[in-house]
Structure 1
Amino acid sequence: MKKLRLFLWMALLGVPAIQVNAQGNIHQQSSVYEWPNDPQVKQKLDQWQDQKFGMIIHWGLYAVPGIIESWELCSEDWIERDSTISYDDYKKWYWGQSAKFNPVKFNPDQWATAAKSAGMKYVVFTTKHHDGFSMFDTKQSDFKITNGPFAGNPKANVAKYVFEAFRKQNFMIGAYFSKPDWHTEYYWWPKYATADRNNNYDIRKHPWRWNQFKQYTYNQISELMHDYGKMDILWLDGGWVRPLETVNDEVRAWGASIPAWSQDIDMPRIASMARQAQPGLLIVDRTVHGPYENYQTPEQRIPDHKLNNPWESCMTLGNAWGYVPNDQLKSATKVVHSLIEIVAKGGSLLLGVGPQPDGTLTEEAVQRLAEIGKWLDKNGQAIYNTRTTDTFKDGDVYFTKAKTGNILYALAQLPEGKEVPAFIEWTGNAPKKGSAMTLLASGAKVKWERSGNKVKVWLPEAFRKQNKTYAALGIAFTPEG
């Protein structure tokens, strides 16, 4: 389990910073996949597979103190809190952040502009995380951004303005929604303790209460699908909320307890309603394999092999999903390298960025995104609208092919901070005899030769003088055969 050092300053409780572990059940990749039958969903899925690069935005109460999103509310072994604070007092403190959340500089246009400058093509925004705090004007609960100090702001209905800002930049729009809701009494009933992430009462003995939760969930998703404009993706998190018969070894490997009852929220009913409102909607019921997991979402990792079904690696720009002060951001080169590997293996990269509690992205995050976009401006032809090749990798050189037309791309990852080499080599994926090869970064034709199954490409001296370092070299060519 990857660990994060996150800092919690709880002035009201007078406690020092503490160390917290990151989420303990990082979603892995499964070989189980069911292709959709709906022609509109298939068409949308194909469109989504062209985009390759997106932004996931975690923003909620957890941004106010700058802590790991929602998870400290959960009493599991991997969660660390100050032992002098009672659990009930901690929950009261956390819920109380809603009285402080007043993002007066909320600027979704800044977010969308930064994402576009990064070369991103789709967005997934957290309308509600596990803590139950809604970032939209739900009518099902008072625990929401429009019922606090930000209520009088013209942009108080945050999700509406986030989606609008990204639509203006021609993004595909995705709504993240947590199936579990730890704030509503229909999921965590105050009658009982809240031992872990699961609902805290026996659904078999209290079916009325669970039916209330199912309707509550249905109603909130219905609001998002009907009242917030065109949606492309419904991204459902909290994979432990699922029919009991779907629990498998993947779920058991998370290490969380598994109740004896089914946490079934009736996905067929939700999906039918959502797709009636949003024809062709992609539904991503994470880790629940079947008709409502239209693409898979390995988390904070890249699969070790090429995959033929649709998938997306969701990874953070820093160490945390949401805003954490002084978080260490990945370099642009590291992100570009991850993007190349993911795309060559058939996936997309969903990069996590967390706005500050005032509603803006940090200048460092904006700058890092722009650096990534600078590379994509020149080399995006080898990323967008591409598909996989039979030989997708040789050493540090990855390959993609154009979705239409007979064009192959070689993407050579270069060591960070090292000078651009005089030449690069790879084995396999040979160019057609006598054909030209083009360096995407400059548009220049490059000299190449083939010896047996090995291809050697010389890089122009002018490019090397102008670029002492470079993240990765993209080369376009017509393949043999």
Structure 2
Amino acid sequence: MKKWILTAVAAAISLTSYAQWKDKEFVLDQDPLVQKKLEEWSDLKLGFFVHWGPYATESLCESWPVVSEDVDWLTPHKDIKSFREHYFNDLPKKFNPTEFDPEKWAQLAEDMGAKYFVFTTKHHDGFTMWDTKQTDYRITNPEYPYASNKNADITKVLFDAMRAKGMMIGAYISKPDWHHPNYWTPSFDTPGRNVNYKIERHPEWWKKFTDFWLGQVTELMTGYGDIDILWLDGAWATKSNRGQDMRMDEVGEISRKHQPGIMIVDRWIGGKWENYRTPEQHVPSESEDKIYWETNMTVGTSFSYRAEETIWKDGREITHKLIDVVAKGGNFLLNLGASPEGWFNPEGVQYVREMGKWLEANGKAIYATRAIAPFAEANVRYTRSKDGNTVYAIVLQEEGENISQITLPGCLAAKNAVIKDVATGKRIKYSRQGNSTLVSLPQKSGVGNFAIALEISSVEKMAGKNYGKSQAQKEAEKRNL
């Protein structure tokens, strides 16, 4: 079977989604349990994201091969109807990941330094990776080969294994479902991603579909332990687009009833049920420290598994992206696609573990920090402790580079400050020059060379703002201006 061709998907979706994201007003949920959860989530900084389903058996892009749309980034199979039948009917019968070990996945998540986990319990193609009672199109269908395996309820065993490592749990689920006969009814052709009939003419079909949808959400909220994040995808399934009312108020009520304080992410829609935002394959060029957000990004070029993947973001690059995201006030959700056997490309595993080794030594400058102006200057990124007393300056180094001395622009250490190498705790020599600080840097090799994290005990000025003074002193300075 010829593979479906995907060209520039990540770039196309990324630019579109980010533009939509920037256009929507962010509304902070007033539920105190949600606000508490958001602050806890903001401490975590790094999440592990996995896309997995029967599409892995042929190294296909997740779900999108079955769509017929005349867009620049999508090149459908020549005989799309025949291919769609093959995709829906044959791939689940081939999907038998006998090497899947949830504890091994959880160990990888810990090795990479992740503190939360988001899993694709169901993508747009409708294949359900848990023991749903709403459809037979599920991993535990007795007609499919993996159904008899002890780990057949993949979502359950993964969530249990990740919780055992102390991770927050995120359940990704798609709002549209291209397999469901009341989303793509066989009565009509299926030209694109949207519902393929007029809802106003067939309201009973739409009700059957949304009843099914609410049933699946309820299953996840009631049968799979503590869920911290309901991560919704498929932004086009919304009331303003062809009347695709997904009954989001009911979704929210069901979720909060069974999972108090759960964060809900209705991607790019804005409003009440978008508790934080998720720009895709994109790090904002400017700081977004006044809202809650995460960049979700792939280590390779695709969210799904590619047996022949050749383009990777190596350990240095993903570490730099993590640092950049955190300095700008966000979290980083990093994705690997799982293979038909139940593991990952060796290159991807190597690179995320390299990042994890860097975090093991330097995580104090990343975890439980907050953004601080000037955020990013040249190859320096800044973070601060939540109490505001400590500033971290992280110097990004390129391969083969070992910077011996650098000026921290916009950061003036106090006269009595102590500056330390975060990784070793050793004191660093420095001098104050104008509104900046000149520091000598330790020479590092291996993953330590990715970036040098410095801890500054007391800062007098950051980007022109005074720090370390009493409120009375600050008020006095204002009066003298």
Query: TM-score normalized by structure 2?
Result: 0.90
The structural deviation recorded for 1:467 is 5.8
Which deviations, in whole Å up to 9, do the C-alpha atoms of 1:351-383 show, x marking residues without a partner? 011111111223332222210011001111111
Secondary structure, in 3 states, of the residue corresponding to 1:450? strand
Which deviations, in whole Å up to 9, do the C-alpha atoms of 1:111-168 show, x marking residues without a partner? 1111111111001000000000000011010001111111111111110011011001
The amino acid of 1:278's aligned partner reads: Q
Secondary structure, in 3 states, of the residue corresponding to 2:367? coil
Which of 168, 184, 189 aligns to 1:188? It is 184
Conservation of the 8 A alpha-carbon contact between 1:420 and 1:469: no
Q: Sort the Cα spacing of 1:59 and 1:303 in 2 relative to 1 into closer, same or farther, 3 A.
A: same
Q: Sort the Cα spacing of 1:286 and 1:17 in 2 relative to 1 into closer, same or farther, 3 A.
A: closer
1: CA distance, partners of 2:87 / 2:292: 37
Q: Which residue matches 1:270?
A: 251
1: CA distance, partners of 2:87 / 2:8: 17
2: CA distance, partners of 1:145 / 1:175: 16
2: CA distance, partners of 1:333 / 1:424: 20
After superposition, where does 1:78-97 map in structure 2 within 5 Å? 78=71, 79-83=74-78, 86-95=79-88, 96-97=90-91
Which of 122, 127, 144 aligns to 2:138? It is 144
After superposition, where does 1:389-404 map in structure 2 within 5 Å? 389-404=372-387
Query: TM-score normalized by structure 1?
Result: 0.90
Which of 281, 286, 306 aligns to 1:305? It is 286
Which of 1, 5, 9 aligns to 1:22? It is 9
The structural deviation recorded for 1:87 is 1.7
**Cα RMSD for the two superposed structures:** 1.5
Q: Which residue matches 1:253?
A: none
1:418 aligns with 2:400: yes
Secondary structure, in 3 states, of the residue corresponding to 1:159? helix
The structural deviation recorded for 1:108 is 1.5
Q: Which residue matches 2:317?
A: 334
The amino acid of 2:40's aligned partner reads: Q
Q: Sort the Cα spacing of 1:380 and 1:141 in 2 relative to 1 into closer, same or farther, 3 A.
A: same
Moved more, 431-440 or 184-193: 431-440
2: CA distance, partners of 1:411 / 1:274: 39
Q: Which residue matches 1:53?
A: 46
Secondary structure, in 3 states, of the residue corresponding to 2:413? coil
Q: Which residue matches 1:74?
A: 67
1:479 aligns with 2:459: yes
Secondary structure, in 3 states, of the residue corresponding to 2:140? helix
Conservation of the 8 A alpha-carbon contact between 2:298 and 2:335: yes
The amino acid of 1:289's aligned partner reads: G
Conservation of the 8 A alpha-carbon contact between 1:411 and 1:472: yes
The amino acid of 1:310's aligned partner reads: Y
Which of 304, 312, 321 aligns to 1:322? It is 304
Q: Which residue matches 1:126?
A: 120
Q: Sort the Cα spacing of 1:467 and 1:174 in 2 relative to 1 into closer, same or farther, 3 A.
A: closer
Structure 1: which 5+ residue stretches go unaligned?
A: 1-9, 245-257
Which deviations, in whole Å up to 9, do the C-alpha atoms of 1:161-206 show, x marking residues without a partner? 1101100110000000000000000100000000100000000000
Which of 423, 429, 433 aligns to 1:447? It is 429
1:283 aligns with 2:259: no
The structural deviation recorded for 1:329 is 2.2
Q: Which residue matches 1:237?
A: 233
Conservation of the 8 A alpha-carbon contact between 2:316 and 2:447: no
Which deviations, in whole Å up to 9, do the C-alpha atoms of 1:330-356 show, x marking residues without a partner? 111100111111111110000011111
2: CA distance, partners of 1:20 / 1:149: 32
Conservation of the 8 A alpha-carbon contact between 1:420 and 1:468: no
The amino acid of 2:329's aligned partner reads: G
Which deviations, in whole Å up to 9, do the C-alpha atoms of 1:49-108 show, x marking residues without a partner? 11010011000011110111100111112321343xx22101111111011111111112
The structural deviation recorded for 1:262 is 0.9
The structural deviation recorded for 1:18 is 4.7
Percent identity for Structure 1 against Structure 2: 40
Q: Which residue matches 1:100?
A: 94
Conservation of the 8 A alpha-carbon contact between 1:68 and 1:321: yes
1:198 aligns with 2:191: no
1: CA distance, partners of 2:228 / 2:119: 12
The structural deviation recorded for 1:272 is 0.4
Structure 2: which 5+ residue stretches go unaligned?
A: 461-466, 468-481
The structural deviation recorded for 1:48 is 0.5
Which deviations, in whole Å up to 9, do the C-alpha atoms of 1:460-480 show, x marking residues without a partner? 4xx44x569711110001211
| Alignment coverage as a number of residue pairs | 447
Which of 145, 150, 153 aligns to 1:154? It is 150
The amino acid of 2:13's aligned partner reads: N
After TM superposition, which residue ranges in structure 1, 4 or more long, deviate above 3 angstroms? Answer: 15-21, 466-469
Conservation of the 8 A alpha-carbon contact between 1:419 and 1:468: no
